[in-house]
Structure 1
């Protein structure tokens, strides 16, 4: 059973992302046209679960499945769309999860949503602090109940998502 753990921001998360970029670039090659560090570990100062969220952008999402064996050989576990149409999702690290990989094809609206969420939190440190504080409280309250942790942050996450979308439209 995985423990829900939220830690203070760690600048090493950036280098862990950069290492993963090289791993994914060596597998996906010219299919990958961009790659982004997303999620809470991408926001300086934000407390987070120490799991690096990586978002490669590819030419054709339909071709990604052909890389599953190579990805498995590097420790990534394929999860298919995992609830989001047009995404390919992978985890790394098993019960000691280290990475989430969210692959989208260029033009997928989820790309802009993820980037707006990240950039909004970077531009609004007070909102990021409130979000981080909530996550830390929930992790303490539900250390072995990831579903309750996720449900507990859902309302604030959706509100940040809404604000981020409006903010991104104005920027």
Structure 2
């Protein structure tokens, strides 16, 4: 289906662009702290002020959004925008407000703070990746056994030497897939 000229989408990027290249960082997990919710609230306001009407939602995601779950002290934020390819509506304002672009890949952009303590993930509403992030968060908040499994997995993996955080994140993908499978089978009263 073609869009009228005023709604025509730009072509998305076709591969992974990792701005700044591979970075080796230590993987350190810390106990959950309520201050992560405060950090999120600060960045939700900052992102909303920067992108205005381009935002279709701003959510706290990742392990720091799950009370009781140990995490890397990096707050993950999900920003939903109507058109990921319309970067001038959200990417430019976010970089002007101090965020730094780290990843550009099909359907996803990731920015972070210069302090490396906040990762801002940008997706379109309804994309499977965005839905999975929200589903995982809600499931882990409600299911202690899977929360414990995920934490044990993260602690085991954090003991290893990784070339970068992406390798560590990829190593968690199998357990995340198992947890998401269970989450999709469980009754949902949130989404």
CA RMSD of aligned residues (A): 2.1
Matched with 2:159 is: 140
Q: What's 1:20 paired with?
A: 43
- CA positional deviation for 1:111: 2.4
- Is contact 2:54-2:89 (8 Å) kept? no
Residue 68 (structure 2) pairs with residue 45 (structure 1): yes
Question: Secondary structure, in 3 states, of the residue corresponding to 2:86?
Answer: helix
CA deviations over 1:108-142 (Å, ceiling 9, x no partner)? 23222111111111110121122112212321333
Q: Does the Cα contact within 8 Å between 1:4 and 1:144 map onto a contact in 2?
A: no
In 2, Cα distance between equivalents of 1:116 and 1:28: 25
Number of the residue aligned with 1:88: 109
- Comparing 97-106 with 61-70, which one deviates more in the overlay? 61-70
**CA offsets 1:4-40 (integer angstroms, 9 cap, x no match):** 1111111111000000001100111011121111111
User: Which of 139, 147, 165 lines up with 1:128 in the alignment?
Assistant: 147
Instruction: Report how far residue 51 of structure 1 moved.
Output: 0.8
CA distance 1:48–1:60, shift in 2 (3 Å)? same
Q: 1:108 to 1:74 in 2, by over 3 A?
A: same
User: Does residue 36 in structure 1 map to residue 59 in structure 2?
Assistant: yes
**CA 163–16 in structure 1, closer or farther in 2 if over 3 Å, else same:** same
8 Å CA contact 1:5, 1:143 repeated in 2: no
1:164 aligns with 2:183: yes
- What TM-score results when the alignment is normalised by the length of structure 2? 0.76
Whole-Å Cα distance in 2 between the matches of residues 148 and 86 of structure 1? 20
Match of 2:30 in 1: 7
Q: Within 1, Cα distance between the matches of 2:166 and 2:76?
A: 19
In 2, the alpha carbon distance for the partners of 1:45 and 1:6 equals 12
Which residue in 2 is equivalent to 1:77? 100
Larger radius of gyration: 2
Give the gaps of 5 or more residues in structure 1. none
With 123-132 and 11-20 compared, the bigger mean Cα shift is at: 123-132
**Runs of at least 5 residues in structure 2 that lack an aligned partner in the other structure:** 1-23
Deviation at 1:100, TM superposition (A): 1.3
